Amino acid sequence: MSMFNNVPNIAYEGKQSKNPYAFKHYNPKEIVFGKTMEEHLRFSIAYWHTFVGAGTDPFGAAVAIRSWDSLSPLDKAKARVEAIFEAMEKLNLQFYCFHDADIAPEGATLAETNKNLDVIVAMLKDYMKSSGKRLLWNTVNLFTNPRYVHGAGTTCNADVFAYSAATIKKGLEVGKELGADNYVFWGGREGYESLLNTDMGLELDNLARLLRMAVDYAKEIGFDAQFLIEPKPKEPMKQQYDFDSATTISFLQKYDLTQYFKLNIEANHATLAGHTFEHELRLARLNGMLGSIDANQGDLLLGWDTDEFPTDLYTTTLAMYEVLKNGGLGRGGINFDAKVRRSSFEDEDLFFAHIAGIDTYARGLKSAAKLIEDRILDDYVDNRYRSFREGVGAEIVLGKSTLKSLEAYALQNNPIKLESGRLEQIKARLNEAIFSV
Ligand code: XUL
Ligand code: CO
């Protein structure tokens, strides 16, 4: 049975194509920078936005009514499995990812919830086997249910902490059963509203305790996925503990957890934190912690987490530049953590949105490869810092200088000669690289 009758299989047709159901830039088997595009990009569908999201906003009810919406909860969950595999097939995507709550309805008790999960996980496993599709990552939803009102790992209520731990235990078992490449921790409610009633020290210690338990249990059951933490500065909490890459890395360092985790960097979370996406990626990369990407973009006029499908070539170019400099994403991938706009409520829009996002990243990959191959940015940067490769600069870098030796140098080095940073010239060359591919 087809859920998306009007949608054909989507294939690469090249730049000249006017077919709305075709990729203009994403050619999965084309080699770019030593690997196929498919190997570089490892695109994934996000279950929640694509198959669960209904276009609600704080002022408006659901507008995107899908064919499965009238079914009973468990039948709906089964129909969604069919829909997601059909969509992956039509879009030629290898990966998907989900929260536990996206795939199966929550029961009245933890045991009932786990039973519902088992039914759908068995079905997913069959579909994965026959289609060859893979799970990029799974995670558990520790934020929607009212029990998480004070947090999950950082709650003031030990019973809720225990429930969260049990939910993560099941999530790890599900990940193992489905052979997930990664397992994500996004702390939706791990933050606080006000310091006035918050024991911040205990909350942070408890969060680290929960992560440590997860590391131990994964080891115990032989689940070898890469663990990822997804930073976000606000929404739903006013203050989120995993604010951005820097905050998350320092948290992991403090609790001696860095070796077990990498970061899943989301574009719109970066801009919410007052950073560019490429800043967050660069910081993760420099710390050896760039693991995966949640691809979307925000709207600077709105300023909240709008999760739009990525269409901005500058951002995807600079993001893929970081990915290529990182030597790839390893077991990670590019997950479209993105929603169609509320006004794009027809089923077909799900496909147009993915085609736009996929082509924007494919072009980003090609222009990033050009930036590196032609040494466009590297030459500027090398030249700009050349004073640290000779004379006094080389001595500083080698750790041979002292305040005294540098004072002696500075006293006789007069005047200091400065040079332009050439930013406008560099931006013009970036434009050329982007529009040449
Ligand atoms: C929320 C968000 C989540 C995580 C997974 O902003 O990005 O969907 O990606 O929990
Ligand atoms: Co995300």
DSSP code string of 85-138:
HHHHHHHT--EEEEEHHHHS---SSHHHHHHHHHHHHHHHHHHHHHH--EEEEE
- pTM confidence score: 0.98
Which atom of ligand 1 approaches the CA of 235 most closely? 6
Q: Measuring from atom 4 of ligand 1, which residue has the nearest CA?
A: 186
Model pLDDT, residue 23? 98
Please state the φ and ψ torsions of residue 332, each to the nearest 5 degrees. -80, -170
Q: Contact at 8 Å (CB) between 42 and 329? A: yes
Q: Measuring from atom 5 of ligand 1, which residue has the nearest CA?
A: 186
Pocket probe for ligand 1: among 97, 103, 135, 139, the residue whose CB has the most ligand atoms within 8 Å is 139
Nearest Cα neighbor of 185 from 93, 104, 294, 296 is 294
Model pLDDT, residue 379? 98
Task: Please give the torsion angle defined by the CA atoms of residues 77, 81, 82 and 88, in that order, rounded to the nearest 10 degrees.
Answer: 150
Q: What type of residue is 420?
A: S
Which ligand sits nearest to residue 144's alpha carbon? 1
b/e burial code for range 72-107 (CB count within 10 A of at least 16 → b): eeeebbbbbbebbbbbbebbbbbbbbbbbbbbbebe
Model pLDDT, residue 212? 99
Model pLDDT, residue 164? 98
Q: What is the pLDDT along the chain (437 residues), one digit of tens a residue?
A: 799 999 999 999 999 999 999 999 999 999 999 999 999 999 999 999 999 999 999 999 999 999 999 999 999 999 999 999 999 999 999 999 999 999 999 999 999 999 999 999 999 999 999 999 999 999 999 999 999 999 999 999 999 999 999 999 999 999 999 999 999 999 999 999 999 999 999 999 999 999 999 999 999 999 999 999 999 999 999 999 999 999 999 999 999 999 999 999 999 999 999 999 999 999 999 999 999 999 999 998 998 999 999 999 999 999 999 999 999 999 999 999 999 999 999 999 999 999 999 999 999 999 999 999 999 999 999 999 999 999 999 999 999 999 999 999 999 999 999 999 999 999 999 999 999 99
Nearest Cα neighbor of 24 from 293, 332, 259, 356 is 356
How many degrees, rounded to 5, is the angle at CA 65 between CA 61 and CA 71? Answer: 110
Model pLDDT, residue 1? 74
Residues forming a β-bridge with 11 = 22
Q: Contact at 8 Å (CB) between 190 and 143? A: no
Tell me whether residue 295 is exposed, middle or buried, using C-beta atoms within 10 angstroms of its C-beta: 0 to 12, 13 to 18, 19 or more.
Answer: buried
Q: What type of residue is 291?
A: G
> Token pair 């993001």 is at which residue?
319
Cα–Cα distance for residue pair 250/239, rounded to 1 Å: 16
Nearest Cα neighbor of 249 from 238, 260, 236, 239 is 260
Distance of CA 18 to the CA centre of its chain: 30
Model pLDDT, residue 303? 86
Which atom of ligand 1 approaches the CA of 99 most closely? 10
Cα–Cα distance for residue pair 72/63, rounded to 1 Å: 19
Q: Looking at 25, 40, 100, 102, which residue is catalytic? A: 102
Dmax over CA atoms of the chain, in Å, equals 82
Nearest Cα neighbor of 303 from 231, 235, 353 is 235
Which atom of ligand 1 approaches the CA of 266 most closely? 7
DSSP β-ladder status, 182-185 and 226-229: parallel
- Name every protein residue with a CB atom under 6 angstroms from any ligand 1 atom: 99, 139, 184, 186, 230, 232, 266, 294, 305, 337
- State in Å: Cα 19 to ligand 1 middle: 32
Q: What type of residue is 94?
A: Q
Nearest Cα neighbor of 196 from 160, 231, 238, 228 is 238
Residues forming a β-bridge with 99 = 139
**Residue 216 annotated as catalytic:** no
Residues forming a β-bridge with 261 = 227
